Amino acid sequence: MARTVITFGTFDVFHVGHLRVIERAAALGDRLVVGVSADELNLRKKGREPVFSQSERLAIVAALKPVDEVFVEESLELKRDYILQHGADVLVMGDDWSGRFDEFEDICEVVYLPRTPAISTTALIEKISSAT
Nearest to ligand C2G of 65, 132 (CB atom): 65
The residue nearest ligand C2G at its CB is 94
Compute the least distance from the CB of residue 116 to ligand C2G, in Å: 4
Do the Cβ atoms of 78 and 84 come closer than 8 Å? no
Taking the CA atoms of 119, 35, 69 and 108 in sequence, report the sign of the dihedral they define.
Answer: positive
Applying CB under 6 A, does 29 fall inside the site for ligand C2G? no
- Binding flag, residue 17, ligand C2G (CB under 6 A): yes
Query: Which of the ranges 6-14, 59-67, 82-90, 103-111 carries the binding residues for ligand C2G, by CB under 6 A?
Result: 6-14
Residue 93 forms beta bridges with which residues? 112
What is the nearest approach in angstroms of ligand C2G to the Cβ of residue 60? 11
How far apart are the C-alpha atoms of 37 and 121, rounded to whole Å?
15
Asked whether the beta carbons of 82 and 65 are under 8 A apart, the reply is: no
Binding status of residue 43 toward ligand C2G by CB under 6 A: no
Distance, in Å, from the CA atom of 129 to the CA atom of 132, rounded to the nearest integer, reads: 8
Among 4, 5, 6, 11, binds ligand C2G (CB under 6 A): 11
